[in-house]
Amino acid sequence: MVNTSVNLSGLSLDNPVIPASGTFGFGYEFAELYDINILGSFSFKGTTKDARFGNPTPRIAECTSGLINSVGLQNPGVEQVIAEELPKLKQCFSKKVIANISGFSIDEYVYTCEKLDREEQVGLLEVNISCPNVHGGGMSFGTSCASAAEVTKAVKKVTTKPVYIKLSPNVTDITEIAKACEDAGADGISMINTLMGMRIDLKTKKPVIANKSGGFSGPAIFPVAVSMVYRVYDAVKIPIIGMGGISSAEDVIEMMLAGASAVEVGAANLVDPFACKKIIEALPDAMQKYGINNLQDITGGAH
């Protein structure tokens, strides 16, 4: 009998599979399709201090082996998430969730993190300093060591739960930013967020997405994500949640061998709402195929 359980900074998960923020809503929509308690956890929709309508449409563009999105952090704001979304989620999910948090200033990150840190349902905070689809916030905090460290320090002062910083791949050296977050007190790293991408409509001769470019995700970015997780694992001593194009049990194992302690599944949920369920069900057989008894033992095994 294989053991699929893993641990993230004291948070025990039955398996390492976590739907990524923005691809699973607040969970209850998927709970109509299957029992989402089979998930290790899940990262709920990116939440900001104030409600956001998001970017103008169209927001999605298809491409080979992936998609481009520019949703722009549409969400009801942290007060409504706490008052309405989390109680609804509690009806269908009994495990701790991961709160994904974005902001447009240090003060906004601090405010939202402090609020969600108090919620019993939240087991871990995932601070997104890497969203490429908003202006004046998001990725701008994740492209320099100084600003990444500043967000990390500020958030850690007002929280008690583990803080994982979500990093952008759209930088010169992701390892330096990961190290800056670790030095500033981060408990872990989530990586990678989407790459930058664009599609142009040949008929209109204009960008397909209203925001011109957006975040490129899907199977095409998996090798990039594996490479970056591998490099950051060598650079830091804190755990990594690996993501970027994961769509199979084999991908989970490969990402963990690169250095991830758990994984997030993103774009695959938009293609197949049962993607995470299928990956979890396939994981024991994949482990047996490759001679793995305890999944958490393989983290960083490729080094």
Residues classed as catalytic: 131
Residue spans of alpha helices (H) in 142-236? 145-157, 174-183, 222-235
CA 58 and chain centroid, separation: 23
| 169, 173, 179, 184: CA torsion to nearest 10 | -70
Which residues on neighbouring strands pair with residue 128, listed in sequence order?
A: 166
Tell me if the bond preceding 87 is cis, omega within 30° of 0. no
Distance CA 103, CA 119 (A): 19
- Tokens representing 20? 């990524």
Residues with Cβ within 8 Å of residue 255, at least 6 apart in sequence: 225, 226, 229, 242, 243, 246, 263
- Tokens representing 124? 């871990």
Burial of 3 (0-12, 13-18, 19+ CB in 10 A): middle
Distance CA 264, CA 8 (A): 13
CA 185 and chain centroid, separation: 19
| Longest pairwise C-alpha distance within the chain | 57
Burial of 209 (0-12, 13-18, 19+ CB in 10 A): buried
Neighbours of 92 (CB within 10 A): 16
By C-alpha distance, which of 40, 232, 237 is closest to 123? 40
